[in-house]
Amino acid sequence: MQYDNIAWYNEYDELDLGMAQGHMTVQTIGAASVYSREFELGWVLVNPSDNNHEAETTAVVKLAAPGRVRTHSNLHSAESELPVVESVTLPAHRGTFVLRAETGPAVRVLDHTDV
């Protein structure tokens, strides 16, 4: 695996979490180090831990507030259709976008005419 290139997926261009609220933080959960950054409308969580020991490095991240996980498969689903969660299970070498549940429409999916 090459780590000198960053994969970019088109859906990244369609998510709008608003302005960043502070700096990235690192939290140790078991054997995993989970990086997170809070935004106005949600969070980005990343677990870059070694996936050769996935059982030990899968992290259950408790959210600061209720949220809704936005994924590739539900990118264009109505936010109200996404379940509200209090925590997220994050395996090694994975990341996720979590929308704030309490703010109403948390993340806009941008129409290309908006850009």
Instruction: Identify which has the larger pLDDT, 62 or 103.
Output: 62
Percentage of the residues of the chain whose pLDDT score is greater than 90: 50
pTM score > 0.75 for this model?
yes
**Mean pLDDT, rounded, of the chain:** 82
* Pairing assessment for the beta strands 42-47 and 94-100 based on DSSP bridges: antiparallel
Write out pLDDT tens, residues 43-80.
999 999 887 766 788 999 999 899 999 988 888 888 88
Query: Quick one: pLDDT at residue 13?
Result: 79
Q: CB–CB of 54/91 below 8 Å?
A: yes
